[in-house]
Structure 1
Amino acid sequence: MNGHVNGHMEKLRTADLGAELGERATLVQFSSAFCQPCRATRRTLADVAAMVEGVAHVEIDAEKRLSLVRDLEILRTPTVLVLDAAGRIVRRASGQPRKADVIAALGAAL
């Protein structure tokens, strides 16, 4: 994979995500099947992506993408990554985010 810095991945491509990057930013959510906060997080991120033009929401099943989870050092679900237009990781947070926090984090990417 590309974009490793100090052993950490810092950039994701369409091939890594299995989905297109957003035109301006991408909200990447790592989820697992029995994670209650993942459902609420999915709704929050989908709402923000619908509100902000050029922002995509991509949900990744952590259990099916273990190598990516290891590369990104995802330790729990939900974990949300905010990517800029080039796929660089500009923010990351674990746990269920509030809509206002997601919108603020997007500011770093846009």
Structure 2
Amino acid sequence: MGVVPEDGDERLTAEDLGGPLGERATLVHFSSAFCAPCRATRRVLGEVAGMVDGVRHVEVDAEARLELVRRLRVTGTPTVLVLDARGAIVRRARGLPRRADVIAALGAAV
């Protein structure tokens, strides 16, 4: 997983995600039904969100949310966005994440 810093201009809201943002940060995971690495990504992000207070994991079905996929320029699954408490995108990564990389990326958000 290559983690890329974002400029923080793009923000997501609870309405965009279909639920509340995390108190400190949100891990947004774009997935699709036939994506094998997406299942492992779900597990890793769920574990990290469970370990860090105030962090929420939200999975978005890329096929069902094409308008959001296009708006955010998501080109494949799994894609993970790390949001700060205000919903600003601070990191973006594509591919199966390693737990240590997710935890490090959260450091930029909290």
Question: TM-score, length-normalised on structure 2?
Answer: 0.92
Distance 1:24 1:14 in 2: 14
Distance 2:15 2:37 in 1: 27
What is the number of residues matched between the two proteins? 102
Please tell me whether residue 37 in structure 1 is matched to residue 37 in structure 2. yes
Aligned to 2:85: 85
| Structure 2 unaligned spans of 5+ | 1-8
Please tell me whether residue 10 in structure 1 is matched to residue 18 in structure 2. no
Greater relative CO (CA pairs within 8 A, separation 6+): 2
- The alpha carbon displacement at 1:19 in A equals 1.3
Q: Which runs of 4+ in 1 moved over 2 A?
A: none
Aligned CA RMSD, in angstroms, stands at 0.7
- The alpha carbon displacement at 1:50 in A equals 0.1
| Structure 1 unaligned spans of 5+ | 1-8
- Structure 2 matches for 1:1-110, cutoff 5 A? 10-110=10-110
Distance 1:45 1:100 in 2: 11
Question: TM-score, length-normalised on structure 1?
Answer: 0.92
State the secondary structure of the residue aligned to 1:47.
helix
State the secondary structure of the residue aligned to 1:10.
coil
State the secondary structure of the residue aligned to 1:57.
strand
